Structure 1
């Protein structure tokens, strides 16, 4: 399948429940590129890049989250290659600081 880049924002009880670690594991296990971070408004933001089927699968996982999370909404938008520049140097997938 073709490559996809998706920018996702997850709302609900998604901070303080291991959500970023869950996303990091889900993305790395699918060999995706991108990043995840908390936002001060209580949401989690992520960028996923890679084969379309793998990106779709990780977004589906985001809709569930870890067992201690409660996902109320997932906003799924197109991303762009420049957004990958937010990753830590040398990493395929990064957990970034809160903004």
Structure 2
């Protein structure tokens, strides 16, 4: 299963990408997280359904200091997850 999330709210400048990285890595998911130019956080992730359900709940909760207003979710075709490796933060310096 491959999912794409857009997280809206106060999600930049509060450690949200690092939070997602930790949660996804602990769940042994593959994929990436990055900030968007629109002030959102984007996540593409693949793994088993139970782990993805846990990550979804974490995205809705967010780390301390964040405020999640909305989580938009799309299911992608399986082939979109074929090249995903260990979970990483994209665009991190």
TM-score, with structure 2 as normaliser: 0.90
**Aligned 8 A contact 2:6 2:42 in 1:** yes
User: Aligned Cα RMSD in Å?
Assistant: 1.6
Query: 1:76 & 1:18 partners in 2: Cα distance?
Result: 21
TM-score by length of 1: 0.85
Please say if residues 46 and 81 of structure 2, whose CA atoms lie closer than 8 Å, have aligned partners that are also in contact. no
Partner of 1:42: 39
Runs (5+) with no aligned partner, structure 1: none
Alignment correspondent of 2:4: 7
Unpaired segments of 5 or more residues in structure 2? Answer: none
**Shift of residue 84 of structure 1?**
5.8
Superposition misfits of 4+ residues, deviation over 4 angstroms: none
CA–CA separation in structure 1 for the residues paired with 2:72 and 2:10:
15
1:63 corresponds to which residue? Answer: 60
